[in-house]
Amino acid sequence: MKVSVVMTVYNGEKYLQEAIDSILRQTYKDFEFIIVNDGSKDGTGDILNKVTDSRVKVIHFQNNEGSVKRLNYAIDLAEGDWIFIQDADDISLESRIEKQVNYIQNSDSNLVVLGAFMKCIEGEDQIPTPKLEAIEKYWNTLDTHKKIGDEKLRGCPLCHGTVVFSKAAFLKAGKYDPFYTVPYDMDLWIRMGQLGRIEKVPEILYLYRIYLKSLSNKNWVETCNQMMHISCKYIRELIYYKYDSPRFVLIGKNKAIKNFYANVLPFVDIKITYVISEDETKPAKKAFKLVVNRKADGILILEGFREREFVAYLVAKGMRYNSNVFRLQNGVF
């Protein structure tokens, strides 16, 4: 089975060689490795020019245009039927490709995306162990097709670098959307999930590097705003597609509500007809009555304000999670 590994890199000299070596040391040998240098100004270009392995194809661009555009470019060039992602600051364990290929070959033909368990490693910053463990727990407990599907409208259920996906399904889904600068993979998994199954190899095959200057960590609020935009877009398109303009109750803390109105709501085709803030008593009960009385079509809960408690109450009342009650990944508290 011929596969393609793709990597984009921008000013990644610190960890790049380690990431490249982790692919070249794979026990599975039959692959091409496409690396796109997205206009790096550091020593990235020199590192790439020293790679002599015949399986590696290096492409240099003078201008930096972002990972999304370069990933789409690299995948268009790829000859493999299945595309492995490798991030330029992470490490694939030696058996990663072999084990994921074996899983694909023995899987249902409807499989379109396959992730794996991961382990966090530190970059240049000292990260508290509980934070590393929390990230690992989040991704590694989303270990079934159902759990991944349940999470897709809230957050990103797959660690991007762990993933291999069908190129045909990727193209049919419409590729990565360059509108999103950080959670572009979350957007893609939702679309690809409409075409087939998304699963994980229940084994650690990837080392994911955490450091404070990474794109997602530098501006967590903006990352969450983009995730909420994605969530609302697909809540509209996949759940409320028969509605002219679905109406929602919004529950959250005051700061989170203000941020949602300023940075998410103007860009999505939904209406907020009622707002229930932290100042009100029995917010979940009030929201439920609004839906029962048909004054709203669903409930959006901004995380950071008793979201688990509210969801449990609403589900016990007969509402359905990811059908008419939703949690949104909020970064403002």
Residue that finishes a domain, picked among 218, 233, 251: 218
Say yes or no: 237 and 324 in one domain: yes
- For 173, half-sphere exposure in the C-beta direction (CA atoms, 13 angstrom radius) is 25
pLDDT of residue 109: 87
Amino acid at site 151: E
Say yes or no: 156 and 234 in one domain: no
pLDDT of residue 219: 84
Say yes or no: 174 and 32 in one domain: yes
Say yes or no: 201 and 119 in one domain: yes
Residue that finishes a domain, picked among 176, 197, 218: 218
Domain harbouring 311, CATH code: 3.40.50.2300
Quick check: is 12 in a domain? Answer: yes
Say yes or no: 80 and 211 in one domain: yes
| DSSP calls for 256-296 | HHHHHHHHTGGGSS-EEEEEEETTSSSHHHHHHHHHHTTS-
pLDDT of residue 213: 61
Residue that finishes a domain, picked among 158, 188, 218: 218
Quick check: is 136 in a domain? Answer: yes
Say yes or no: 155 and 179 in one domain: yes
Say yes or no: 63 and 196 in one domain: yes
Say yes or no: 258 and 284 in one domain: yes
Domain that holds residue 276: 220-328
pLDDT of residue 211: 77
Q: Is the dihedral of CA 265, 266, 272, 274 positive or negative?
A: positive
Q: Into how many domains does the chain fold? A: 2
In angstroms, the CA 121 to CA 97 distance is 20
Please compute Rg for the chain using Cα positions: 21
Domain harbouring 104, CATH code: 3.90.550.10
Say yes or no: 210 and 190 in one domain: yes
pTM here is: 0.94
Q: What are the helix (H) ranges across the chain?
A: 13-24, 44-49, 67-77, 96-105, 129-141, 145-151, 167-173, 184-193, 215-218, 220-234, 254-263, 283-292, 307-316
Quick check: is 333 in a domain? Answer: no
Say yes or no: 78 and 37 in one domain: yes
Query: Are 214 and 129 contacting, i.e. CB atoms less than 8 angstroms apart?
Result: no
Say yes or no: 60 and 119 in one domain: yes
pLDDT tens-digit profile, the chain (333 residues):
889 999 999 999 999 999 999 999 999 999 999 999 999 999 999 999 999 999 999 999 999 999 999 999 999 999 999 999 999 999 999 999 999 999 999 998 899 999 999 999 988 778 889 989 999 999 999 999 999 999 999 999 999 999 999 999 999 999 999 999 999 999 999 999 999 999 999 999 999 999 766 555 568 999 999 999 999 999 999 999 999 999 999 999 999 999 999 999 999 999 999 999 999 999 999 999 999 999 999 999 999 999 999 999 999 999 999 999 999 999 998
Structure tokens at 80: 């493999």
Quick check: is 312 in a domain? Answer: yes
Say yes or no: 190 and 319 in one domain: no
In angstroms, the CA 108 to CA 114 distance is 12
